[in-house]
Structure 1
Amino acid sequence: MLTMLHKIMYIDMLPPVHEKDPRRRIVERYKRHLFHVRQGAGGMKKELTRLLEGSTEHVAIDLAGQHVRYDELHTMVEDLLSTNGYYQSIKLTANRIEQSSSTHVMSQTL
């Protein structure tokens, strides 16, 4: 659940782009919905659970008359992450950690 929250925050913190992406706008609105004062921790947990499970219910955010389901939102999040190099940066970080651990283990055995 925290991983999905991190992904949403990552998208929200991306630098602005010249061409507006409607998927990004939807994810940003969903983030504001998650952190709304009246939402609370329990409400946030329910929302993230629906998102992770890919519920076919409509997300309760104002999109000027448009409706988005949780499964569609989940796809948008993953597409945006992939497009913006999220998984590539995670892979690079994991490789650095692995190399650092290997170097540390080798130095201890010498």
Structure 2
Amino acid sequence: MAARFRIKRKGVGEMLRMPGMQAEMLRRAEVIKGIAVATSPVDEGGPHPGHYKDSWETDSTARGGRRRDRAVAYLRNTSTYGRWVEYGNGTPSGPAQHILLNAAEIGGRNR
């Protein structure tokens, strides 16, 4: 006789919001943050050398996602020019460097 499984949405929702799930999401974000910091460029001749590298932050919540029903963690760069480093500024002198994208790809493999 085959085993039967019946999913209970309430139970899955509780699991997705558990403190352990939130802690795991934050742990994974911290792994990706470490890679982002290690690969961040530093403009030694600029007005604020190392500011971009020092501006990585993580946080987490149990009420994230599109429906606010699951644990999530966030990694962001708070420097005012972080988006230009990531996506480029549209000129040959400012190409996209994709620091966060590359860190997420590498960090996703190094769980």
Structures share a fold, TM > 0.5?
no
TM-score by length of 1: 0.29
**Higher share in strand:** 2
**Higher share in helix:** 1
